[in-house]
Chains A and B, each alone.
Chain A
Amino acid sequence: MTELTIIDAIRTALGRALHDDPDVILFGEDIGIDGGVFRATDGLVQRFGAARVRDTPLSETVIAGMAVGAAAHGLKPVAEIQFMGFIYSTIDQLANHAARLRNRTRGRLTCPMVLRAPFGSGIKAPEHHSESMEAMLAHIPGLRVVVPSSPTRAYGLLLAAIRDPDPVVFLEPKRLYRSMSEPVQDDGVALPLDRAVILREGGDVTLVSWGAMLSETRAAAESLAGEGIDAEVIDLSSLKPIDRDTIRASVGRTGRCVIVHEAPLTAGLGAEIAADLAEHCLTSLVAPVRRVTGFDTVMPYPKLEDHYMPSVERVRRAALDVMEFS
């Protein structure tokens, strides 16, 4: 097996999908000869040709809208938005069309498309290049929103997203693109889309996170272990739909929960998970559910970026806080 980073794994999955299914087509800005600004599509135009790996004109609205039309007419488009900060103009197409075409035609037309976008901060990128606005997308009925957290999961989840018969937004934690590598077999095996994953088992407190923040969350869990606290770490993985059963079951065991996300606090996905636990796990809870999130500020420029992002210490302190309830 080859050691792959997340960006390698994404490229490998895209190549596998293009190879296996002639209906798969890639388009986006600078994804052809340039291989994408993060090189997610590096070498694919050479392997599969300019008809299947297409540089679009610079128009996010067209990238998303064309994906809807192409998907409804038999292709499986995998479109790229260069940075999540530029995804807003696609929301019209995602919410008004992609997510509802199946429903409004009672299944006559469907929209098997994937919209990929790098998201999150931590690489000292310019303004508008570091946003984590996943909750806006997870609010849209009919859509799926998926976030990988490792090379293995990036490979398997991207294949699953491409094969899924419904529209999937695939958000790539760009801080992790090259920060880790592991052996990944290019065996064409997809992972289940709707499942959260327990990354670390523990009986004292449940830590829920996704994407790049799992690094801080896992580091906090290790630090807590040194203090005699056994934290369970859940990778949410699917932000829509949410695997509520896995979270409820974990909190049923631990009685405590801390949710960690880089996105802003108010109406973030942490609120949804906390509300779900309040509705369904009240009798198991022995402490308030805590959220450790990006502050409710505009994403700062790189100089203040590190102050915005939840730190290992903030996660650790929140876990210690909830441990004080008995």
Chain B
Amino acid sequence: MSEPLRFLDAEGGCARELPDFARDRETLVALYAAMVRTRSFDAKAIALQRTGRLGTYASSLGQEAISVGVASAMQDRDVFLPSFREHGGQLWRGVSMEELFLYWGGDERGNDFAGPTQDFPVCIPVASQFPHAAGVALAMQQKGENAGAVAIGGDGATSKGDFYEALNVVGAWGLPAVFVISNNAWAISVPRSEQTHAKTLADKAIAAGLPGEQVDGNDVIAVREATGRALERCRAGDGGTLIECLSYRLGDHTTADDASRYRDETEVSPHWQEEPLIRLRNHLVAAHDWGKADEEGLLRSSGEAVEAAAENYLATEPDPARAMFDHLYAAIPEDLAALAEEAGDD
């Protein structure tokens, strides 16, 4: 078994020669800034939830590199199909923080992105987004779009039939799809070791006749490089790829979870040494003159952006009751119109 693809080690040292994009300061700063913004967003979301101003929320703490790395390899015309822990990727793609707050705050308008209008909203039923990605890829293939459908799911998702069955059709039909597994070592309380006897989750690609690759999911450069190559395969008509990104869930499953019920702090703490922001910051400092002022400026601007988005979210009036009827069908059926009347307008 080959080692997972890795460019930056945990301290930020170069484990191998960097790909071209990763020699560019501007690109690296953009990736780092996106991860910092994601972490700020997570922190604010949890604060809002703890004070009763947001619904149950799934933090991406420690996994920022996966989502950001994947999205940064995508082009506008590709389609992103995220699970519920991919805020970083959604933000990179152009979904606004305010829209994400709206979604997690319980307002469907948060899924009506002004940004990447072809992207899917967050998918809650685990692994059910993979068949969608196969369908999007089928439409891309059919229309000659020269694009790829990129779906992300967790390690638990690879135990579901939806994942296997979708991976199988991607292989059988040569569909331009990339399935990314964000392996954060835990599916709520069940560790990866109990999830499957498979040696790696990337190995699951073998059954579908597809390439499967393990990547250090805490190295945003590796995630972007692997996703970029997989998308190149899509565009070249070479079909799909499975990418397993190895990371660790530093926080609870969601704000409704208490991870101390099933794992010790002694298990968690070493993973703080591996997390994705430190290594890229160290690399930026060492190789690109990233200084204290740069870091402080970034933290300040991220914090301001999050605060402004939260303020706008909190100031948003809920939709009228009528809205739950208005978008159920293209045109409201008669029997539903009668119920809408009963529900009233506010």
**Given A73-B118, A73-B139, A75-B138 in contact, is the A105-B128 Cβ separation under 8 Å?**
no
Q: How many residues on the B side are at the interface (Cβ–Cβ under 8 A)? A: 46
What are 28 of the A-B contact pairs (CB < 8 Å)? A25-B142, A57-B172, A65-B128, A65-B130, A65-B132, A66-B169, A68-B135, A69-B135, A70-B135, A70-B138, A72-B120, A72-B132, A73-B135, A73-B149, A96-B124, A104-B111, A104-B121, A106-B112, A106-B323, A107-B327, A108-B117, A109-B121, A165-B330, A194-B334, A241-B333, A241-B335, A241-B336, A242-B335
B131 touches A62 (CB 8 A): yes
**Given A68-B131, A242-B335 in contact, is the A62-B328 Cβ separation under 8 Å?**
no
B108 touches A103 (CB 8 A): yes
Instruction: Across the interface, name the chain A residue whose C-beta is closest to B143.
Output: A74
Cα–Cα distance between A3 and B241 once the two chains are bound (Å): 50
| Complex interface residues of chain A between 131 and 152 (CB less than 8 A to chain B) | 141-142, 144
A208 at the interface (CB under 8 A from B): no
Chain B residues proximal to chain A, CB less than 8 Å: 79, 81, 108-109, 111-113, 117-118, 120-121, 124-125, 128, 130-140, 142-143, 149, 161-162, 165-166, 168-169, 172-173, 323-324, 327-330, 333-336
Within the complex, the shortest CB–CB distance from B103 to chain A, in Å, comes to 9
Chain A residues proximal to chain B, CB less than 8 Å: 25, 51-52, 54, 56-57, 59, 61-62, 64-75, 77, 89, 92-93, 96-97, 102-110, 141-142, 144, 164-166, 194, 241-245
B128 touches A142 (CB 8 A): no
Cα–Cα distance between A244 and B339 once the two chains are bound (Å): 13
Count, A-B residue pairs, CB within 8 A: 141
With a CB–CB cut-off of 8 A, which chain B residues contact A141?
A: 328
Cα–Cα distance between A107 and B136 once the two chains are bound (Å): 18
Cα–Cα distance between A92 and B160 once the two chains are bound (Å): 13
With a CB–CB cut-off of 8 A, which chain B residues contact A93?
A: 128, 131
Cα–Cα distance between A93 and B133 once the two chains are bound (Å): 13
> Which residue of the partner chain, among B108, B149, B330, B334, contacts A105 with CB atoms under 8 Å?
B108
Within the complex, the shortest CB–CB distance from A140 to chain B, in Å, comes to 11
> Which residue of the partner chain, among B124, B138, B166, B329, contacts A166 with CB atoms under 8 Å?
B329
B112 touches A105 (CB 8 A): yes
Cα–Cα distance between A144 and B335 once the two chains are bound (Å): 13
Instruction: Across the interface, name the chain B residue whose C-beta is closest to A77.
Output: B135
With a CB–CB cut-off of 8 A, which chain A residues contact B131?
A: 61-62, 64-66, 68-69, 93
A62 touches B330 (CB 8 A): no
A106 touches B330 (CB 8 A): no
Cα–Cα distance between A72 and B149 once the two chains are bound (Å): 12
With a CB–CB cut-off of 8 A, which chain B residues contact A103?
A: 108, 324, 327-328
Cα–Cα distance between A139 and B191 once the two chains are bound (Å): 37
A56 touches B135 (CB 8 A): no
